Amino acid sequence: MSSAPTPTDPAHSADDDAAAFADLGLRTELLKALSVLGYEEPTPIQREAIPPLLAGRDLLGQAATGTGKTAAFALPLLQRMPDDRSGGDPVSLVLVPTRELAVQVSEAFHRYGKDLGARVLPIYGGQPIGRQLRALDGGVDVVVATPGRALDHIARGTLRLGALATVVLDEADEMLDMGFAEDIEAILEHAPAGRQTVLFSATMPARIDGLARKHLTDPERIQIERERPVAGEAPRVRQSAYIVARAHKPAALGRVLDVESPTAAIVFCRSREEVDRLTETMNGRGYRAEALHGGMSQEQRDRVMGRLRAGTADLLVATDVAARGLDVEQLTHVVNYDVPSAPESYVHRIGRVGRAGREGVAITLAEPREHRMLKTIERVTGQRITVDKIPTVADLRTRRLELTQAALRESLLEDDLDPFRAIVESLTDEFDLVEVALAAVRLAHEATLPGTADEEEEIPQVAVRPAREPRPGYDGRDRRGGGRPRSGGTTQVFIGLGRRAGVRPQDLVGAITGETGVSGRDIGSIEIADRFSLVEVPYGVADEVIQGLRGSTIKGRKATVRRDRDGDGGGERRFDGDRRERRGRDGDGGERRERRDRW
Interacting residue with ligand AMP among 7, 66, 510, 548 (CB under 6 A): 66
Residues 256-285 that bind ligand AMP (CB under 6 A): 270-271
Residue among 62 and 67 whose Cβ is closer to ligand AMP = 67
Binding residues with ligand AMP: total (CB under 6 A) = 13
Binding mask 216-255 for ligand AMP (x = CB under 6 A): ----------------------------------------
Of the candidate spans 64-72, 185-193, 299-307, 547-555, the one that interacts with ligand AMP by CB under 6 A turns out to be: 64-72
Residue among 30 and 211 whose Cβ is closer to ligand AMP = 30
CB of 166 to ligand AMP, least distance (A): 17
Classify residue 225 as left (phi > 0), alpha (psi -120 to 50) or beta: alpha
CB of 77 to ligand AMP, least distance (A): 13
Residues 158-217 that bind ligand AMP (CB under 6 A): none
Residue among 71 and 291 whose Cβ is closer to ligand AMP = 71
CB of 474 to ligand AMP, least distance (A): 20
CB of 75 to ligand AMP, least distance (A): 9
CB of 174 to ligand AMP, least distance (A): 13
E-strand stretches of 478-568:
490-495, 526-529, 533-538, 561-563
Of the candidate spans 60-68, 258-266, 360-368, 509-517, the one that interacts with ligand AMP by CB under 6 A turns out to be: 60-68
Residues 67-96 that bind ligand AMP (CB under 6 A): 67-71
Indicate whether 519 belongs to the interface with ligand AMP (CB under 6 A): no
287 close to 257: Cβ distance less than 8 angstroms: yes
Please, which contacts does 27-35 make with residues 24 or more away whose CB atoms are closer than 8 Å?
A: 27/79, 29/115, 29/116, 30/75, 30/78, 30/79, 30/112, 30/113, 30/115, 30/116, 32/115, 33/111, 33/112, 33/113, 33/114, 33/115, 34/112
Nearest by Cα to 297 from 305, 309, 289? 305
254 close to 282: Cβ distance less than 8 angstroms: yes
Interacting residue with ligand AMP among 62, 65, 132, 336 (CB under 6 A): 65
CB of 42 to ligand AMP, least distance (A): 5
User: What's the rounded Cα separation, in Å, for the pair 126 and 557?
Assistant: 7
CB of 489 to ligand AMP, least distance (A): 32
Residue among 17 and 522 whose Cβ is closer to ligand AMP = 17
Instruction: Classify strands 265-268 and 315-318 as parallel, antiparallel or unpaired.
Output: parallel
Of the candidate spans 42-50, 200-208, 308-316, 537-545, the one that interacts with ligand AMP by CB under 6 A turns out to be: 42-50
User: What's the rounded Cα separation, in Å, for the pair 5 and 20?
Assistant: 9
Indicate whether 514 belongs to the interface with ligand AMP (CB under 6 A): no
Indicate whether 43 belongs to the interface with ligand AMP (CB under 6 A): yes
Amino acid identity at 437: A
CB of 235 to ligand AMP, least distance (A): 24
Give DSSP secondary structure letters for 24-53: TT--HHHHHHHHHHTB-S--HHHHHHHHHH
Residue among 274 and 530 whose Cβ is closer to ligand AMP = 274
User: What's the rounded Cα separation, in Å, for the pair 361 and 294?
Assistant: 25
CB of 100 to ligand AMP, least distance (A): 11
Q: DSSP 3-state assignment of 598?
A: coil
Give the DSSP H/E element, type plus range, for residue 123. strand 120-123
Under 8 Å CB-to-CB from 121, ≥6 apart: which residues? 90, 106, 132, 135, 136, 140, 142, 143, 144
Interacting residue with ligand AMP among 12, 14, 30, 39 (CB under 6 A): 39
Under 8 Å CB-to-CB from 271, ≥6 apart: which residues? 37, 38, 39, 40, 319
Tell me how far CA of residue 425 lies from CA of 429, 431, 436, in angstroms: 7, 10, 10
Residue among 104 and 516 whose Cβ is closer to ligand AMP = 104
Of the candidate spans 41-49, 80-88, 431-439, 519-527, the one that interacts with ligand AMP by CB under 6 A turns out to be: 41-49
Indicate whether 345 belongs to the interface with ligand AMP (CB under 6 A): no
User: What's the rounded Cα separation, in Å, for the pair 42 and 48?
Assistant: 9
User: What's the rounded Cα separation, in Å, for the pair 172 and 185?
Assistant: 12
User: What's the rounded Cα separation, in Å, for the pair 509 and 499?
Assistant: 15
CB of 73 to ligand AMP, least distance (A): 9
92 close to 140: Cβ distance less than 8 angstroms: no
Indicate whether 383 belongs to the interface with ligand AMP (CB under 6 A): no
Indicate whether 506 belongs to the interface with ligand AMP (CB under 6 A): no
CB of 328 to ligand AMP, least distance (A): 23
Residue among 45 and 150 whose Cβ is closer to ligand AMP = 45
End-to-end Cα separation, the chain, in angstroms = 46
Under 8 Å CB-to-CB from 131, ≥6 apart: which residues? none
CB of 70 to ligand AMP, least distance (A): 3
User: What's the rounded Cα separation, in Å, for the pair 262 and 314?
Assistant: 8
Indicate whether 42 belongs to the interface with ligand AMP (CB under 6 A): yes
Of the candidate spans 61-69, 115-123, 187-195, 505-513, the one that interacts with ligand AMP by CB under 6 A turns out to be: 61-69
* Residues within the interface to ligand AMP (CB under 6 A): 39, 42-43, 46, 65-71, 270-271
